[in-house]
Structure 1
Amino acid sequence: MSQMTPEAFVDYAADRLTCSSPTDRRDRALAELLKYAAATWQHQDEFMREDLTAVARHTLIALDTPPTN
């Protein structure tokens, strides 16, 4: 995958989450939060941007990890 801007990365994580579990309300809420954050990236402070990027990264890791049960 090519280099993405941080806001594009957060948006990508939201899209992957939406596609993986479109009916799970918790996943949908997180995806909507990430979408909002990506859309308002310029208004977020540096600490929030770092946290959002970490959430997106961990979301993608969780989506690529098979369930343990």
Structure 2
Amino acid sequence: MRGFGSRRTGSRRIGLIGFVYLAIGVIVAATHGYLVAWNIPGNILEGLVAIVLWPLVAIFGVDLHTLIA
């Protein structure tokens, strides 16, 4: 039972761990050259994938430029 006056709005909030994960992803993607020239659809896809899968890029050295292109 929820407290008096509380409602479930249906919107999902990202937690602190999720925010930190995505922030690190943006930093890693920017330092590895994935956040440049976003006017090309392939570069947009590379940037978003690099942000989400940043451990592959940072830890294992996977080059998404060759995988997605």
* TM-score for the superposition, normalised by structure 2: 0.36
Q: TM-score, normalised by structure 1?
A: 0.36
Instruction: Choose between structure 1 and 2 for higher RCO, CA contacts under 8 A separated by at least 6 residues.
Output: 1
